[in-house]
A = this chain, B = another copy of it.
Amino acid sequence: MTEMPATMRQLRSLVTPGGELHLSIAAVDTPRPAEREVLVRVEAAPINPSDLGLLLAMADVSQAVEGGSPDEPSVTAPIAEPVMRSLAARVGDAMPVGNEGAGVVVAAGESPEAEALLGRTVGFLGGATFGEYCLASSRMCLPLPEGANAVDGASAFVNPLTALGMVETMRREGHTGLVHTAAASNLGQMLNRICLADGVPLVNIVRRPEQAALLREHGAVHVCDSSEPSFERDLVAALRDTRATLAFDAVGGGRLAGQILNAMEAAIVAADAPYSRYGSDVHKQVYVYGALDPRPIELRRRFGFAWGVGGWLLMPFLARTSREDLERLRGRVADELTTTFASHYTHEITLRDTLDVPTLQRCARQATGQKFLLRPQR
């Protein structure tokens, strides 16, 4: 077993009873893997939109201030009263953060599957990857292929398996095309590459002209910009071409989910079809997998009765996936790690940098084209 320190540094996110977010770097005992677990020395961890909810606790980061001492720095930011009510269960609990990352396996439990990973560089799903070391289930490790390093493998789980999971879900539920919102995101670009490679018709919905241009440069066939006055017409036309009846929506607030359902119905019902007060019998589905817009979801029903809107998350999808299917998906990620599933980072930051207010504020903006990579060993 590699020599490793008794204690390690780890980013912690605390909500105080007084209504403040408090971020700090804790010195904690380096954990020991259980039978089927491994310990990874984290070399790189992406800061994903899915990490920000836990990290920032919906605090008002524009009012963040640095505190603590040079040896024990911290950041605090106020949390609005209505938000505090939804956070009751985490008040007082300094939580570790970080869904995924990559690094070297430096210790392993006694099971063969854990021991087989010792010394390998792996991408992995953790839950505390924003620290120097992190435990992982051996099942949630992806040994990186020859020639790939930890930066290549840092985002090997969440976005690749989410994008592949969308296409898998489409096939399992009998749809033949997809709609994706916030489509210029890192995840959206990945999904676009998968759909182009697999011949799956995809309608990309974006919010700005430059995002539409970016996707078109990358070969996207159908791009609809919701900032255009012709958006609803464009969407119906794209849905007529693609016959897509399943959407994955990262926005999850406002009218967009309902607009998609109404456009799907308009694309399905022929102009000269006989009147039916129940609408078409083609099932139209929107899965909401994010919450970029915190407003209520507003559904204006002109889409008949064959419809559904629901939540979708990666982990429950993986739990419904057979071992063989999961192996197939992971194999594809490994094979195409630096092509289809390549992620690009605009900033590399250290653990200490996460407590720098301007850096934290840039992280929090979730702007398209900006992506942060944490390097905990630096």
Contacts and interface: CB of A to CB of B under 8 A. Distances in A.
Contact of A301 (B274, B276, B297, B301): B297
A77 B86 CA distance: 49
Mostly, the A contact residues are: loop
B296 A305 contact: no
A253 B301 CA distance: 9
A309 B309 contact: yes
A328 interface: no
A306 B298 contact: no
Contacts of A275: 87, 89-90, 93, 95
A53 B277 CA distance: 7
Contacts of A145: none
The copy count of this chain in the complex is: 2
A266 to B, nearest CB: 11
Contact of A309 (B53, B93, B252, B308): B308
A311 B311 contact: no
A89 B305 CA distance: 17
Given A275-B87, A275-B90, A305 B312 contact: yes
Contact of A277 (B54, B289, B304, B308): B54
Contacts of A269: 89
A260 to B, nearest CB: 14
Contacts of A306: 311, 313, 316
Contacts of A274: 89, 93
Contacts of A299: 296-299, 309
A281 interface: yes
A254 B233 CA distance: 27
20 contacts: A53-B277, A89-B269, A89-B275, A89-B276, A93-B275, A95-B275, A252-B301, A253-B301, A288-B305, A296-B298, A296-B300, A297-B298, A298-B299, A299-B309, A305-B311, A305-B312, A305-B313, A307-B310, A308-B310, A309-B310
A103 to B, nearest CB: 24
Contacts of A312: 305
Interface in A63-121: 86-87, 89-90, 93, 95
Most buried by B among A252, A291, A313: A313
Most buried by B among A87, A301, A311: A311
A311 B300 contact: no
